[in-house]
A and B are shown apart, each in its own frame.
Chain A
Amino acid sequence: MISLNNIEKVYRTSSIETLALANINLHIKAGEFVSIMGPSGCGKSTLLNLMGLLDEPSRGTVEVGGQVVTQYRDKELARLRNQNIGFIFQSFHLINDLSVLDNVEIPLLYRKGDSTGPSRRKLAEEALERVGLSNRMKHFPNQLSGGQKQRVAIARAIVGRPSIILADEPTGNLDSAMGNEIMNILQGLNTDGATIVMVTHDETMAKKTHRLVRLFDGSMVGDSILMSNA
């Protein structure tokens, strides 16, 4: 589903160069639920951004669905992100000036084709139902708890029915009860066929996934299949 081949990522700012990732080879199969762990600053988000086509590697290639996308132009990348990938972030990234329903609809607005207002609305309502927030559709993000916000973000990630979900510390800002709720939703989505890559700091969350990749200082230092879940 996603392949990272010989990836190196260097961040260059005016004064410093940071080697965020080096020599990464990682293949994610369709239907897998992969967790990525590692200390802060080791390159987890960078890795996820490369998989999500939000950034370009300094060296190496990224394949999504068997196609090398490294040379793709902005429009094609945007279309791939829109149709194939759903993002979930630690800080939710909801737009505070839009209602829950309007937030969830956003990915559909960037979809070419004949999606009408009512049809978008229906899909958004379905997605919110899926995360158990049917009764909060008219609310605004600042009227919600952290767990509810993250559920909105999940609804937004799945509204376009992507095959891949990339979650960057989705439970990082939540207490364990809310974290478990989110984890249950993600597991359900995975059961229904979504490929999920999740960055986490929480061993108990990681243990519920199929496969655990460990990063340290920009390099992969572990890649293990968790047999009990697979």
Chain B
Amino acid sequence: MIRHLFTLIWNKKRTHALLLIEILASFLVLFGVTSLIIYNFRNYAEPVGFNYQNRWAISMDWGDMPDSVSYPLRQQLKQRVLAYPQVIAASISSGNYPFSNSTSNGRPRYNGVQFNVFNYFVDPDYAKTLEMAVLEGRWYDRADESTVVPQVVVTRDLIDKVFGKGQPGVGKLLINDEDKKDKKRIIGVVGNFKQDGEFSPTTSCIFYRASKTDWSNVLLVQVQPGTDAAFEGNMMRELGQMVKGWNLEVSYLADQRVSKQRFTLVPMIIFLVVSTFLLINVALGLFGVLNVSITRRRGEIGLRRALGATEGSISRQFVGEIWVLATFALVLGLILAAQFPLMNVFDLDASVYLTAMVVSVLVIYLIVTLCALYPSRQAATIQPATALHEE
């Protein structure tokens, strides 16, 4: 019977070409949207690696004051902030703190592997201030300020890439393949550090010690829960008096996170809405085409009944036909979709695409089945004698 249906659909391929293209197109759109959603939610399932609640970022702009002059002032600001009972911890960081709009990254080659690495220039209190878990080794402290080989902390992801999955990292040297003098000693490994929040992928990060002259221009502050705007205003006024002429601005990490998330969620919701409309459209079209074709094929239905088809086998035939058609479309669609992982178009994990393919195939089969169910029931209830009489 299945071969019979294939033959039937194959011989009618010209009539069905449009329908096939429609199913193919909706598969591809669905595949795109589900890939995006699966990618984002896989990322979402991974911890961000830090705590952003009750964390404030005070950005410091010292104008044309030399860095060497501003550095001790920055330290003083930090000490002053720590003196407030409402403040639990504070740390000086480069501008690319969590949910900020700035990034610092490069594509170095370590151990023959070239990949994207994010760089952070932070002080010894950073991990504590952001409640980052150090999995291996330790975070740097004041004692190892001036080592010959710089000491760094890296994310687990970086170790996995350079030394192999699950390999220990502490004590190892990171040597830049392109510049052998560029060496760093790994003294600690942290878990994730997803700067842009839940929806961003796991990244390889290196945390360098903030030096006097770099662009460490942000003071991250952890405050007691419930600390209010009144305290904030008071604190900022007092800090402002300490560094006249500087521009200090405070922002809440939790707020910045919300606006960052919109960048991911809004396009995803738009795609989802558009593709839902598309699918509804395709479903209605399919439903209409099936209804019409069943009316046109009453003679065939009557004939098949005369030759021994039961009501059940008639409705199964119509559902089966649409499955065959969907299968043709899906085979084409899968061939096209497979190009994404094969040609590594978006640098996503192949399993994201594979899951998206499976989900899209199932959704398409579900939709075509639902569309075929009612018309095929109708087809089955046609009286054979009546159907034959009409021809």
Interface residues of A (CB under 8 A from B): 45-46, 49, 52, 54-55, 74-75, 78-79, 81-83, 87, 89, 91, 93, 95, 97-99, 102, 105-107, 109-111, 117, 140, 156, 160
Against A, the Cβ 8 Å flags (1 = close, 0 = not) of B299-317 are 1101111111111110000
Identify A98's interface contact among B8, B307, B391, CB under 8 A.
B8
Q: Is the CB of A93 within 8 A of B4?
A: no
Identify A81's interface contact among B4, B7, B11, B308, CB under 8 A.
B308
Identify B384's interface contact among A54, A98, A107, A110, CB under 8 A.
A54
Q: Cα distance A49–B387 when bound, in Å?
A: 12
- Specify the chain B residue showing the minimal Cβ separation from A9: B385
Q: Which residues of A contact B306 (CB under 8 A)?
A: 52, 54, 81, 87
Given A97-B8, A140-B11; 9 other pairs, CB 8 A cutoff: A78-B309, A81-B305, A81-B306, A87-B307, A89-B388, A93-B299, A93-B300, A107-B307, A109-B1
Known contacts A102-B7, A109-B4: A95-B389 contact under CB 8 Å = no
Q: Which residues of A contact B311 (CB under 8 A)?
A: 74
Q: Which residues of A contact B385 (CB under 8 A)?
A: 46, 49, 54-55
Q: Which residues of B contact A83 (CB under 8 A)?
A: 308
B interface SS class: helix
The reply to whether the CB of B181 lies closer than 8 angstroms to some CB of chain A is: no
Q: Which residues of A contact B305 (CB under 8 A)?
A: 54, 78, 81
The reply to whether the CB of B180 lies closer than 8 angstroms to some CB of chain A is: no
Q: A98 to chain B: closest CB distance in Å? A: 6
Q: Is the CB of B389 within 8 A of A45?
A: yes
Q: List residues of B (353-387) whose CB comes within 8 Å of A's CBs.
A: 383-386
Q: Which residues of B contact A78 (CB under 8 A)?
A: 305, 308-310, 313
Q: Which residues of B contact A46 (CB under 8 A)?
A: 385
A-B pairs, 4 with minimum CB distance? A82-B308, A55-B385, A110-B308, A78-B310
Q: Cα distance A98–B5 when bound, in Å?
A: 10
Q: Cα distance A117–B307 when bound, in Å?
A: 18
Q: Is the CB of A79 within 8 A of B3?
A: no
The reply to whether the CB of B142 lies closer than 8 angstroms to some CB of chain A is: no
Interface residues of B (CB under 8 A from A): 1, 3-4, 7-8, 11-12, 299-300, 302-313, 383-386, 388-389, 391
Q: Is the CB of A111 within 8 A of B12?
A: no
Q: A74 to chain B: closest CB distance in Å? A: 5
Q: Cα distance A160–B302 when bound, in Å?
A: 18
Q: Which residues of B contact A87 (CB under 8 A)?
A: 306-307
Identify A107's interface contact among B1, B308, B310, B391, CB under 8 A.
B308
A-B contact count (CB 8 A): 78
Q: Which residues of B contact A97 (CB under 8 A)?
A: 8, 11-12
Q: Which residues of B contact A54 (CB under 8 A)?
A: 302, 305-306, 383-385, 388
A-B contact list, 23 entries, CB within 8 Å: A45-B389, A46-B385, A49-B384, A52-B306, A54-B385, A55-B384, A74-B312, A79-B308, A81-B306, A81-B307, A82-B307, A91-B391, A93-B300, A93-B391, A99-B11, A106-B4, A106-B304, A107-B308, A110-B304, A110-B309, A110-B310, A111-B308, A140-B11
Q: Which residues of A contact B386 (CB under 8 A)?
A: 55
Q: Which residues of A contact B307 (CB under 8 A)?
A: 81-82, 87, 106-107, 110, 156
Q: Is the CB of B388 within 8 A of A93?
A: yes
Q: Cα distance A105–B7 when bound, in Å?
A: 12
* Among B299, B300, B302, B383: residue with most chain A CB under 10 A: B300
Q: Which residues of B contact A93 (CB under 8 A)?
A: 299-300, 302-303, 388, 391
Q: Is the CB of A75 within 8 A of B12?
A: no
Q: Which residues of B contact A95 (CB under 8 A)?
A: 8, 300, 303
* Among A52, A81, A83: residue with most chain B CB under 10 A: A81
Q: B382 to chain A: closest CB distance in Å? A: 11
Q: Cα distance A75–B311 when bound, in Å?
A: 8
Q: Which residues of B contact A107 (CB under 8 A)?
A: 307-308
Q: A120 to chain B: closest CB distance in Å? A: 10
Q: Cα distance A111–B310 when bound, in Å?
A: 11
Q: Which residues of B contact A52 (CB under 8 A)?
A: 306
- Specify the chain B residue showing the minimal Cβ separation from A83: B308
Q: B301 to chain A: closest CB distance in Å? A: 11
Q: Cα distance A107–B303 when bound, in Å?
A: 10
Q: Cα distance A195–B311 when bound, in Å?
A: 27
* Among A79, A82, A117: residue with most chain B CB under 10 A: A82
Identify B11's interface contact among A45, A79, A98, CB under 8 A.
A98
Q: Which residues of B contact A45 (CB under 8 A)?
A: 389
